[in-house]
Homo-oligomer: A and B are copies of this chain.
């Protein structure tokens, strides 16, 4: 478990972090879809095969939620918590049952706040890959980060 907390001064463009791994369970994929994204291709293999996904696919929001779980428990431990205010998200490939997901993060840019000198925004690209190295999600987030001793 990470102990040192990261402040704005600790982050820099090009900095990289890697998370642990998360296996995508078929039963949980279907349960998540039933609750939040009840479309046939997320619920049923045969319907998945007939769809654009060419097989059962997890909801993109399930992939996003698992990505967050991996980030929260990663070494990228931001002081005050991991709070995204906005971001761009894409899903280049579907997540499948049995996939093992992992997230690779890279700090792209640090933007100090003009109005609030005790904080800034870190733009961080979080790339979620499966066990074959295929990219299933890219989430480029604007993350709120405090300066050290910002009170």
Contact = CB atoms under 8 A, between A and B. Distances in A.
Given A85-B90, A90-B85, A68 B144 contact: no
A3 to B, nearest CB: 16
Nearest to A69: B36
A88 interface: yes
Interface stretch (A7-15, A38-46, A105-113): A38-46
A65 interface: yes
**Secondary structure call for the A interface:** mixed
Nearest to A138: B86
A35 B69 contact: yes
A55 to B, nearest CB: 14
Contacts of A86: 88-91
Contact of A81 (B51, B61, B69, B84): B51
Contact of A38 (B60, B69, B88): B69
Contact of A64 (B52, B61, B85): B61
A66 B144 contact: no
Interface of A: 32, 35-41, 51-52, 59-61, 64-66, 68-69, 72-73, 80-91, 144
